[in-house]
Amino acid sequence: MEATHTRRQSAKIFFQFLSWVFHPVFIPVMGVGFLLFSDTSTAFLGFREAQRWLILGQAFTLYTFFPLVTVGLLKAVGFLDSVHLSTQRERVIPLIATGIWYFWIWYVWKNLPDYPAELVRLALATWTASWVTLMINVRMKISLHTIAAGLMLTFLCLWSINHPYGAGIYLPIASLLAGAIGAARLEVSDHTQTEVYGGYALGIITMLTIHLLYR
């Protein structure tokens, strides 16, 4: 009995760790990092290493740093009870703010002619998913983790299909992680299966739609 309890506690700690490491504010930066530095990506051929690190810094600032600071400030001034955004009401202002940061980086990147279309599509899909999430949040607390996981997995699948070098080892790793993220959210959050699977669906549909419509 004690051994079973220990294993369950260990699994819970692992899933909580997974939820933090692959938080939605980190996953877009990982996708940008794939385009910039992976051995199967040709998106930034001709860019100097300093330019690539600058782009990664832009991604981290708008996708990770500003959203985290926003949530921290909202918590500090009393708009949020918790940084975990446990309720639909608490999600509203952070989602609006995040949508602004995501729009900003997409708008900047799309107006830089040397930046590859794949980067711009990823940024547009991320921004679009954030605003659709805000609308869905009125009715249900859809999983932000699985939205990001579904979007990124679809992005890598599309890359693998459309580029001669494919996505290499990154695609099977992303597939395993996408499944593990969903399992983690079911284990350590109050999300229902509908909210978790709905997140996957939203991420997949958004990325596919942007890929087909944005040229």
pLDDT of residue 59: 98
Burial of 179 (0-12, 13-18, 19+ CB in 10 A): middle
Residues 6+ apart with CB under 8 A from 164: none
Query: 102: part of which helix (H) or strand (E)?
Result: helix 88-110
pLDDT of residue 57: 97
pLDDT of residue 108: 96
pLDDT of residue 5: 59
Over the chain (215 residues), what is each successive 10-residue block's mean pLDDT?
68 88 96 95 92 97 96 88 85 94 97 94 97 95 96 96 88 95 91 95 97 87
**Residue whose entry in the numeric block shows the structure tokens 């070098």:** 165
Residues 6+ apart with CB under 8 A from 127: 99, 102, 103, 106
CA angle (203, 207, 209) in 5-degree steps:
120
pLDDT of residue 1: 59
pLDDT of residue 149: 97
pLDDT of residue 3: 60
CA angle (154, 184, 176) in 5-degree steps:
40
Residues 6+ apart with CB under 8 A from 51: 44
Polymer length of the chain: 215
pLDDT of residue 81: 82
Where are the domains positioned within the chain? Answer: 15-213
d(CA 32, CA 102): 13
Give the DSSP letter of residue 61: I
pLDDT of residue 215: 72
